[in-house]
Chain A
């Protein structure tokens, strides 16, 4: 139990649709990062939010966007879904922007058909 919760746990979307994934960070954590994990691969960094501001972005197109709210929960939005977006999306929280120790949620499994 890491204290990081994600929703939904599983979802199926059609190519071209939009999806919103949600994450509640561990209590007291002000930094949230999102990762995409394709089957058989390690997680890849999408972006990080620190105190409601984007604090770093990986090699993902602009149709991947996010938000962090005053309570430090976060959303990941993906527009114009493509088949290759099918993956496990992981949220991680930490206590400061340097990400000393990070704690992951159970992830959201997205299937795009």
Chain B
């Protein structure tokens, strides 16, 4: 299967700070999505981004498919951004990384 590596594994930020989360993957994919998992376990879809750049409010993502990586940018972080961020790649079957656990402190 496709290997997915996410970094950093853990991140602690002061409220208002910016951060960049990285996802490297081992093979060409036609689908890449970023998710945020809240403390209750729900995975919320943030971006469908197999290539290119997208922005949604304080969040943006960039995927460079030819170099097999994707970046998730969080600007002006808020405590509600806390949780685990997952990158998932694939098509019919999604391969997930082990996530980046983000804690935003007031």
Whether both chains belong to one complex is answered with: yes
- Identify the A interface with B (CB < 8 A): 2, 33, 35, 37, 40-45, 48, 55-56, 58, 88, 90, 92, 97-107, 109
Chain B interface size, under 10 / 10 to 19 / 20 to 34 / 35 or more: 20 to 34
Of all chain B residues, the one with the shortest Cβ separation from A37 is B41
- Identify the B interface with A (CB < 8 A): 4, 30-31, 33, 35, 40-45, 48, 86, 88, 90-99
A45 lies within 8 A of B94 (CB):
yes
Q: A101-B48, A102-B33 are in contact. Are A55 and B92 (CB under 8 A)?
A: yes
Of all chain B residues, the one with the shortest Cβ separation from A41 is B98
Q: A97-B92, A98-B91, A101-B48 are in contact. Are A42 and B41 (CB under 8 A)?
A: no
Q: Is the interface of B mostly helix, strand, loop or mixed?
A: strand
Taken together as a complex, chains A and B put the C-alpha atoms of A25 and B42 apart, in Å, by 15
CB-CB under 8 A from A102, the residues of chain B are 33, 45, 94
B93 lies within 8 A of A45 (CB):
yes
Taken together as a complex, chains A and B put the C-alpha atoms of A44 and B97 apart, in Å, by 10
Q: A42-B98, A42-B99, A100-B48 are in contact. Are A107 and B42 (CB under 8 A)?
A: yes
